[in-house]
């Protein structure tokens, strides 16, 4: 479940429809920034209720990670890795970024 009880499958299907409309971008770039921020704020508010400085710090870090991931090329390997990570970890883009970097490094090591 994602923030506000929306299932990951539903969220991902919406995001995939955005991807079709925005050809050539990676799956992360197809997710509206405003939606990511809203979902991340909700998740952090639930997890860190009353700790506003923690929420702010993690929100800022998550949005920076989202922005960085948006800049990746929209190729098959990136989208395959990112789609799997989004299914499991949305809206935690700090986690997604960390795991993406590990996965892409392993991919390059296996294919060089």
Cβ neighbours around 60 below 10 Å, total: 11
* Domain map (residue ranges) of the chain: 3-111
Q: Using N-to-C axis directions, what is the helix angle for 33-47 and 52-70, rounded to 10°?
A: 150
pLDDT digits (tens, 9 = 90+) for 79-100: 999 999 999 999 999 999 999 9
Position 59 scores a pLDDT of 98
Position 87 scores a pLDDT of 95
Confidence of residue 112 (pLDDT cuts 50, 70, 90): confident
Place of tokens 């990570």: 85
Half-sphere exposure of residue 18, counting CA atoms within 13 Å on the CB side?
16
Residue 6 token pair: 């929306």
């Amino acid at each position: 479940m994602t923030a506000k009880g929306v299932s990951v499958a539903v969220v991902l299907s919406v995001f995939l429809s955005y991807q079709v409309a925005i050809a050539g971008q990676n799956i992360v770039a197809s997710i509206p920034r405003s939606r990511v921020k809203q979902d991340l704020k909700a998740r952090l508010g639930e997890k860190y209720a009353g700790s506003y400085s923690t929420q702010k710090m993690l929100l800022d870090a998550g949005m920076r990670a989202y922005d960085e991931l948006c800049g990746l090329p929209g190729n098959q390997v990136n989208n395959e890795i990112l789609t799997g990570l989004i299914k499991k970890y949305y809206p935690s883009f700090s986690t997604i970024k960390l795991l993406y970097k590990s996965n892409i490094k392993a991919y390059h090591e296996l294919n060089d």
